[in-house]
Amino acid sequence: MPERILIMGLNWIGDAVMSMPAVQACRAENPDAEIALLIKPYLKPLWEMHAVPDAVFTLGKMGETVAKIRAEKFNRALILPNSFRSALIPFLAGIPERAGLKGDHRRLMLTEVVPLSSGHQSNEYFPILAPKFAGKHELPELTVPPVKIPLPGKYAVFMPGAARGASKMWPLKRFEELSRKLLAETGLNLVFAGGTGDAPACAELAGILGDRAQNMAGKTGLKEWAGLLKGAEIAVANDSGGMHLAAAVGTPVVGIYGITDPGKTGPLAEKYRVIQHSTVRGRDIARNSEEAVKALESISAEEVFTAVCELLGK
Q: Helix H segments across 99-149?
A: 126-129
Asked if 11 and 36 touch (Cβ cutoff 8 Å), the reply is no
Please give the share of the chain, as a percent, with pLDDT higher than 70: 99
pLDDT (0 to 100) of residue 253:
98
Nearest of 32, 37, 4 to residue 19 by alpha carbon: 37
Asked if 127 and 134 touch (Cβ cutoff 8 Å), the reply is yes
Alpha-carbon distance of 3 to 300, in angstroms, equals: 53
- The DSSP bridge pattern shows strands 234-238 and 155-159 to be parallel
* Amino acid at the residue 179: S
CATH code given to domain 4-133: 3.40.50.2000
Would the CATH topology of 4-133 be identical to that of 155-312?
yes
Architecture of domain 155-312: 3-Layer(aba) Sandwich (3.40)
Helices 84-92 and 62-72 sit at what angle, rounded to 10 degrees?
Answer: 50
Segment-wise mean pLDDT, segments of 10 residues, the chain, 314 residues: 95 96 96 97 97 98 97 98 95 97 88 91 95 83 85 91 82 96 96 91 92 92 94 96 96 96 94 92 78 94 97 90
Q: Where are the domains of the chain?
A: 4-133, 155-312
Instruction: Give the dihedral sign, CA 138/47/49/51.
Output: positive
Tens of pLDDT, residues 237-273:
999 999 999 999 999 999 999 999 999 999 999 999 9
pLDDT (0 to 100) of residue 147:
81
* Amino acid at the residue 121: Q
- Return the exposure string of 185-198: e unless at least 16 CB atoms fall within 10 Å of the residue's CB, then b: ebebbbbbbbbeeb
Tens of pLDDT, residues 113-131:
999 888 899 999 999 999 9
Phi, psi of 111 (to 5 degrees): -95, -15
pLDDT (0 to 100) of residue 135:
67
* Amino acid at the residue 48: E
